[in-house]
Amino acid sequence: MLLQRILYLLSPILIQSHSIENAIEKLTSNQLESGPPVPIVIWHGINDNYEGWGIIPELFRKNIPGVYIKQICIGNNSSATCGPHEDKIRSWYGDAAEQIDQACEKILQDSELTTPNGFNVLGISQGGLLSRVLVQRCQKANIRVFTSFGGPQAGVNAIPGCDVDMARDFCENIRLILNLGIYAPIVQQHILPAQYWRDPIHPKHYYEKSVFLPAANQDFIVVDEEVEKIKSLEAMVLVKFNQDLSVVPPDSEWFGYYENGQDSVVLPAQDWPVWENLGLSYLSDNGKLHFLSKDGHHLEFTTEWFEENIVPFFQN
């Protein structure tokens, strides 16, 4: 119970970033210029359900009339009825890889998402990580634009809310407890946040015992089919919140992370194997990788900012 209570503190909560006018200009010209709007798939974050971010679908519908939106709901399996209560529970408990497989099945069963037009994806916080791995593993899906909205792409290693005004010793002690117990097999198999917890002080623990993120980021074994799916994107948009206390370090939202052996110096994505192994360098070289940042805490944004910076990536 103590571990579950501690993990509860990992829930992401708020969002903000600056203008993306230059990034929009770099979008590839192979997006359809006519026809129906490209559908949108949304995957919410931890401690939430598919009904929790109604403002985002509203903004998409306001700015893209007639757009079809599917919000991922994770239940016991792909064919079972899924409701908000079950979906919220599953945002905490379960196997990340299995949930991604279930989301893929639901997408492939939806006729609106299996047309030649393809669809775009927005992942919110934890959903930003899960939906990014969905992009690379859902082989039959035609995903065109992927946006991670504060997603912990390189993992997390801090308790949300631990800042200079709080009891630093308490926060550090809790983190030490997590680092000691979070790689236990039973925790790794059943607690979603544990599957992307990354201890930079003892990187060997992470690489050897984490059941999800090292494989998802192709740290050791490169799966060519997954890399090709990433490379096939028209755009990957990574939104980082500069004062984020839920995803720590915030640079994880850009695939950056603490250098091994310490927790102060952050290395950018380009200095990690994921840059080449996952195909991020290819997206960058071809003008398809967009790093957006915004001052503010986790998921703290205004409707005006969202309409100006995010919606254009989803318009035909």
pTM for the model: 0.86
Please report, for the chain, the start and end positions of each structural domain, with discontinuous segments joined by +. Answer: 2-31+42-314
pLDDT above 90 coverage of the chain, percent: 75
Mean pLDDT is lowest, of 31-35, 76-80, 112-116, 250-254, for 31-35
Give residue 8's pLDDT band: very low, low, confident or very high (50, 70, 90). very low
- Domain at 2-31+42-314: CATH code: 3.40.50.1820
- What is the β-pairing status of strands 143-149 and 40-43? unpaired
More confident residue, 1 or 122: 122
Give residue 81's pLDDT band: very low, low, confident or very high (50, 70, 90). confident
Catalytic site positions: 125, 244, 298
* Whether the predicted pLDDT of 300 surpasses 90: yes
Which helix (H) or strand (E) is 140 found in, with range? none
CB 251 within 8 A of CB 257: yes
| Burial group, residue 310, by CB count within 10 angstroms (0-12, 13-18, 19+) | buried
Q: How much is the pLDDT for 244?
A: 94
* Whether the predicted pLDDT of 278 surpasses 90: yes
Give residue 20's pLDDT band: very low, low, confident or very high (50, 70, 90). very low
pLDDT tens per residue across span 40-58 = 999 999 989 999 888 999 9
What distance in Å separates the CA atoms of residue 19 and residue 309, rounded to the nearest whole number? 6
Please list the residues that pair with 63 across neighbouring strands. none
